Amino acid sequence: MRCGTFDTENREYVIDRVDAPVSWTNYLGTEEMGAVVSQNAGGYLWVGSAQYGRVTRFRPNGVPLDRPGYYVYLRDDADGDYWSVSWQPVGKPLEKAKYACRHGLSYSAYECEYRGIRAKEVLFIPRGDNVLLWDVEIENRSDRPRALSAFGYVEFSFHVIDMDNQNFQMSLYATGSRCVDGCVEYSLHYENLREFFAASFEPDGFDCVRDAFLGSYRTETNPVAAERGELSGSFENGGNHCGALMKRIALQPGEKRRLIFFLGEGDANAAKRAREFYTPEAVDRCFSGLRGFWDAKLRKLQVSTPNENMNISLNQWNLYQSEVNLFFSRFTSFIEVGGRTGLGYRDTAQDSMCVPHSNPEMSMRRIRQLLRGQVSAGYGLHLFDPDWFDENAKQRSPSPTVVPTAGDKKIIHGLEHTCADDALWLIPAIVENLRESGDFSLLDEVIPYADAGEGTVLDHMRRILDFSWEQRGVHGVCKGLRADWNDCLNLGGGESAMVSFLYVWAGNHFLDLMRYLGKEEELRVYGARNDEMKRICREVLWDGKWFLRGITRDGRPIGSDSCLEGKVHLESNAWAVCSDAVEFEQANSAMDAVDEYLFTEFGLMLNAPSFRTIDDGVGFVTRVFPGVKENGSIFSHPNPWAWVAMAKLGRGTDAMRFYDALLPENQNDRIEIRQSEPYAYCQFVMGKDHTAFGRARHPWMTGSAGWAYYAATRYMLGVRPGFDELVIDPCVPGDWREFRVLREWRGVLYDIIVQNPDGVEKGVREIRLDGEVVDRIPALSGGGVHWIEVAMGVRE
Ligand code: NOJ
Give the pLDDT confidence score for residue 391 in this predicted structure.
82
Q: How confident is the model at residue 166 (pLDDT cuts 50, 70, 90)?
A: confident
Instruction: Identify the residue with better confidence: 506 or 163.
Output: 506
* Cβ–ligand 1 contact at 630 (below 6 Å): yes
Give the pLDDT confidence score for residue 244 in this predicted structure.
98
Which H, E and C letters describe 609-660, residue by residue? Answer: CCCCCCCCCCCHHHHCCCCECCECCEECCCHHHHHHHHHHHCCHHHHHHHHH
| Residue to probe by mutation, ligand 1, list 326, 482, 485, 702, most atoms within 8 Å of CB | 485
Residue 669 has pLDDT above 60, yes or no: yes
Chain-centroid distance, C-alpha 287: 22
Of all residues in the chain, the percent with pLDDT exceeding 90 is 93
Q: How confident is the model at residue 796 (pLDDT cuts 50, 70, 90)?
A: confident
Give the pLDDT confidence score for residue 171 in this predicted structure.
84
Give the pLDDT confidence score for residue 167 in this predicted structure.
78
Q: pLDDT tens, 419-438?
A: 999 999 999 999 999 999 99
Q: Which residue's CA is the closest to the ligand 1 atom numbered 9?
A: 487
Q: pLDDT tens, 390-430?
A: 888 876 655 555 555 555 667 899 999 999 999 999 999 99
The four Cα atoms 177, 178, 183, 185 give a dihedral, to 10 degrees, of -30
Residue 14 has pLDDT above 70, yes or no: yes
Crossing angle between the packed helical segments 457-470 and 520-540, to the nearest 10 degrees? 30
Distance 683 CA to ligand 1 centre (A): 9
* Cβ–ligand 1 contact at 459 (below 6 Å): no
Residue 264 has pLDDT above 80, yes or no: yes
Give the pLDDT confidence score for residue 408 in this predicted structure.
60
* Cβ–ligand 1 contact at 714 (below 6 Å): no
Distance 499 CA to ligand 1 centre (A): 14
Q: Which residues contact 693 (CB under 8 A, 6 or more apart)?
A: 600, 602, 627, 686, 687
- Candidate list 16, 162, 487, 512, residue with the active-site label: 487
* Cβ–ligand 1 contact at 482 (below 6 Å): no
- CA dist 303 to 310, 391, 482, 722, Å? 9, 42, 41, 20
Distance 573 CA to ligand 1 centre (A): 18
The atom number, within ligand 1, closest to the CA of 701 reads: 3
- Between CA 680 and CA 21 the distance in angstroms is 15
Residue 508 has pLDDT above 90, yes or no: yes
Q: Which residue's CA is the closest to the ligand 1 atom numbered 7?
A: 485
Stretch 556-578: mean pLDDT, rounded? 98
Q: How confident is the model at residue 537 (pLDDT cuts 50, 70, 90)?
A: very high
Give the pLDDT confidence score for residue 392 in this predicted structure.
82
- Is position 487 annotated as part of the catalytic site? yes
Q: How confident is the model at residue 142 (pLDDT cuts 50, 70, 90)?
A: very high
Q: How confident is the model at residue 191 (pLDDT cuts 50, 70, 90)?
A: confident
Give the pLDDT confidence score for residue 687 in this predicted structure.
98
- Between CA 687 and CA 421 the distance in angstroms is 25
Chain-centroid distance, C-alpha 323: 7
Q: Which residue's CA is the closest to the ligand 1 atom numbered 3?
A: 347
Distance 423 CA to ligand 1 centre (A): 14
Element at 165 (helix H, strand E):
helix 161-165
Distance 628 CA to ligand 1 centre (A): 13
* Cβ–ligand 1 contact at 240 (below 6 Å): no
Tell me, yes or no, if the pTM score tops 0.75. Answer: yes
